[in-house]
Amino acid sequence: MPQPNMQKMLKQVQRMQADMMAAQERLKDEVVEATAGGGMVTVKISGDLEIKSIAIDPEAVDPEDVDMLQDTILVAVNEAIRSAQEMAESRLGRVTGGLGGPGGLGGLGLPGF
pTM, two decimals, is 0.65
pLDDT above 90: percentage of residues in the chain: 37
Question: In CATH, what number is assigned to the domain containing residue 86?
Answer: 3.30.1310.10
Q: Residue 102's pLDDT band (boundaries 50, 70, 90)?
A: very low
Show the domain range for 33.
23-97
| Lowest mean pLDDT, pick from 64-73, 79-88, 100-109 | 100-109
Output the pLDDT for position 48: 85
Alpha carbons within 13 A on the beta-carbon side of 36: 17
Number of domains in the chain: 1
Residue 51 placed within a domain: yes
* Domain presence at residue 16: no
- Does residue 109 fall inside a structural domain? no
- Read off the pLDDT of each residue in 75-103 and give the average, rounded to a whole number: 79
Confidence of residue 1 (pLDDT cuts 50, 70, 90): low
At 16, the amino acid letter reads M
Q: What is the pLDDT of residue 13?
A: 83
Look up residue 11 and give its amino acid: K
How far apart are alpha carbons 43 and 31 in whole angstroms? 10
Sheet containing strand 31-36, strands side by side? 31-36, 41-46, 51-56
Checking if the pLDDT of 47 tops 60, the result is yes
Query: Looking at the domain assignment, is residue 6 inside a domain?
Result: no
